[in-house]
Structure 1
Amino acid sequence: MKKSLRAAGLAAAAWTACIASAQAADDTDWPRHAVRLIVPYAPGGIADQMARITAEALQAAFNQPFVVENKPGASGSLATSYVAKSKPDGYTLLVGLAAPQTLNQFIYKLDYHGLNDFAPVALLNTNPLILAVHPTLPVKTVGDVIAYARKYPGKLNFGGAGGLTQFAGEVFKYDTKTDMVHVPYRGGAPAVAAAVAGDVQMTFANYSDVQPWIESGRLRAIAITSPKRYPRNPDLPTIAESGVPGFGMDGWTGLLAPAGTPPAIVRKISAVVRKALNEPAMKDKLEAMGSPPGDMSPEEFRTFMAGEIKRWQGFVAESGIKVE
């Protein structure tokens, strides 16, 4: 009997060692086939742009296809939930954004946690939002927007794609005690296109999505959502300095994997992404887009996300804001 138990124990130990060895080999050999980068919004916006830039860098480094897939819906939460439930083997990655990872869980009923269900890989970029209006709207400053909204309650509408492009407007409404209507779109680019066409009067849009239309005169920039002015556009005032003290938010994009993804794979991806995005030419390109690159280790990115979650949880609880 003792010999049988001993034999069984040795067999179990051998099996465990075999699994560990196979896992190590998997981590070392990754990637052996195509990897998917899931984007929570429609093509054309900042998340999609960053996904394609990142995919190109990873494909060059690992000599395997890195395929971008857009899965818009539910204010970015559809794709986020999909990746949270995916196999943690490094072959399904998420191009996550600030709201689906840190904010949505406090205003919607979700089936994932923005941090606990993921392995943070790298912060790809940060990006301010710009409050922009159609040129036919008779406003040129934040004060003008507030006055117009108060004069015509419920008549001023703004396009957004869920997440911060919507929530910036909701916070603006709360801080200024105005009544404006959000019109939802499936991505930042479609929301901006609606503002350009005059289907909505204004938008809170990612800098990179809206800047070309501002330069062409098809939209008018009013202010930036960041706490400080953006160095590449120093003449554009912040909302905070324009009569809404304390207002300040930046968007960001990050690369994440499902929780449980082997740390060795996470580190491999992170090292390539951080190096590629901070090459001088790429860094200059991203800064010109209004999307300066991030440069955080997986551990630093996790700490950053935890801080963002705590900040938004506190604000939603304090303000009682509800998003329809």
Structure 2
Amino acid sequence: MKEKSLAAALLDKLETFLQEQNFGDSPKELYEPITYILNLGGKRIRPLLSLMAYSLYKNDLEKMLGPAAAIEVFHNFTLMHDDIMDEAPLRRGQATVHEKWNTNVAILSGDVMLVKAYDLLLQTEAKHLPEALRLFNKTAAEVCEGQQFDMNFESEEVVAAGDYIQMIRLKTAVLLGLSLQLGAVLAEASPEDAQKLYDFGVNIGIGFQLKDDLLDVFADQSKFGKQVGGDIIANKKTYLLIKALELAKGSDAEELKYWLSKKEFDKEKKVNAVKSLYERLGIKALTEAKMNEYFEEGFRQFNSIQFKQAEYFNELRQITQDLIHREK
């Protein structure tokens, strides 16, 4: 029998820990959605990063399970509320909480999820709790800021590329940074290493979102798992569209404006037309270059940390590389 990877072993411990949590029973409409969304099959990337970062320095992993679970519960709380704001019918292929129950249930259940995340964070050792709370609160506020910027962009005609990068830094990347930083802080790594791991997480988080933007347009449909071109159909202001609006001139600019303004259209025709325009403007190469810039900076930070357990360092690097090279 093949031996489990270090990451798989950590995830098993985390999953067991999460399943043992009793978030509450009554009223069931308040608590059932918490169990429901936590069991929808997420990859648990954020708590895994926390556990891996902790394991770079210490072996007593049980001390990290509560704080790592807090990050996962907080992340799913944000998804529950984001789905309401986006009016999303599906999450990981299943009905979203507000669709399965209703919007009011999803709001209230999400609220109590945030409370339960703090309950889990309170399992942090007393000497580290003030710092853990400070970092957690800072990140929680930044995630909300990122979501608000994202909503603001929907009604703004022009969004600068730098503003988009800042939005994804806040909405997505800072939570990856916190996941790694918190593991390092609780394992009593040096402040320098904790900061480098945070910077690593933020940089790869930005890179991952740019990768998602690319895959939405250029992925192999048979591997992608969802409709290619969804962002194009929705006129979503991704890095690709922002750069295209910035660079398109003459007939290219007119064609892009035409597709962005059209209310009724053939979806496949629009996707193919905008994708061709992106190819003419070299948008794919530009986005790949920007994405790789963040990945390279992230690994520069990561490779300079003073870890104690090399096997976790090597596996954490491999996990990140696998995510970078994914095709879906």
Q: Give TM-score, length-normalised by structure 2.
A: 0.30
- Please state which structure has a larger fraction of its residues in helix: 2
- Please state which structure has a larger fraction of its residues in strand: 1
Larger Rg: 1
Q: Give TM-score, length-normalised by structure 1.
A: 0.30
